[in-house]
């Protein structure tokens, strides 16, 4: 991949010179929330170098895609996640689109509210915390001793038997 282009919006985002809602990052790429998403949790994987990725996605970027896809699946519970490569302004990016109904890469995009993006960023960036199960309290079983009663006609009722 080539060096960064100071006029490319994706290079500016990857270098940290433009505000974005970062989800994850490694040495080769950055994952940010799409500002005009197709569905809730739509993420852009932006390689840090300007240019094309090529036919085969580099291993580090593929690992980042797998990590983010698992994170989306665990936290947002979509039916499926679609990954699609796109070239915009001479910079290849990968769209990760959670599928909830019948969305695809050509579905209509809607501008997201800043508060929604911030909430989604918080959900997707917080660590998976194991849910601690409350400890069951041990119930003490008290032995109850009953006094044995003698069965007599006075304390027992039986239905009358008809032959």
Residue 123 counted as domain residue: no
Q: 10 Å Cβ neighbour count for 71?
A: 20
Taking the alpha carbons at both ends of the chain, their separation in whole angstroms is 102
Cα 30 to Cα 39: distance, rounded to the nearest angstrom? 20
Cα 119 to Cα 47: distance, rounded to the nearest angstrom? 25
147 pLDDT tier (thresholds 50, 70, 90): low
Cα 113 to Cα 118: distance, rounded to the nearest angstrom? 9
CA-angle at 25, arms to 6 and 101, nearest 5°? 100
Residue 148 counted as domain residue: no
CATH of the domain at 38: 3.30.428.10
**Tens digits of residue pLDDT in 93-116:** 888 999 988 888 888 888 889 999
Q: Please give the structure tokens belonging to residue 2.
A: 């080539």
pTM over 0.75: no
| Residues 6 or more apart in contact with residue 86 via CB below 8 angstroms | 92, 93, 94, 95, 105
Q: Total domain count for the chain?
A: 1
> Which residue is associated with the tokens 């890469």?
105
**Containing domain of residue 16, as a range?**
9-103
Q: Please give the structure tokens belonging to residue 102.
A: 């019948």
Tell me which of 54-58, 129-133, 152-156 is least confident. 129-133
Kindly report the average pLDDT of the chain as a whole number: 80
Residue 15 counted as domain residue: yes
Three-class secondary structure of residue 54 per DSSP: coil
Closest CA to 93 of 48, 56, 125: 48
Q: 10 Å Cβ neighbour count for 153?
A: 7
Residue 132 counted as domain residue: no
Closest CA to 1 of 93, 97, 95, 96: 93
Residue 79 counted as domain residue: yes
Q: What pLDDT is recorded for position 142?
A: 63
Residue 14 counted as domain residue: yes
């Amino acid at each position: 991949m080539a060096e960064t282009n100071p006029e490319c919006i994706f290079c500016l985002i990857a270098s940290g010179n433009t505000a974005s809602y970062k989800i994850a990052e490694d040495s080769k790429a950055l994952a940010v929330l799409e500002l005009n998403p197709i569905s809730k949790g739509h993420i852009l994987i932006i390689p840090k170098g300007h240019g094309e990725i090529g036919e085969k996605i580099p291993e580090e970027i593929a690992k980042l895609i797998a990590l983010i896809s698992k994170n989306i699946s665990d936290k947002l519970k979509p039916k499926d996640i679609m990954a699609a490569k796109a070239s915009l302004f001479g910079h290849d990016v990968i769209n990760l689109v959670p599928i909830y109904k019948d969305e695809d890469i050509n579905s209509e995009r809607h501008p997201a509210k800043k508060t929604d993006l911030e909430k989604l960023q918080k959900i997707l960036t917080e660590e998976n915390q194991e849910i601690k199960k409350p400890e069951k309290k041990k119930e003490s079983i008290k032995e109850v001793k009953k006094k044995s009663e003698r069965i007599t006609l006075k304390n027992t009722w039986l239905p009358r038997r008809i032959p």
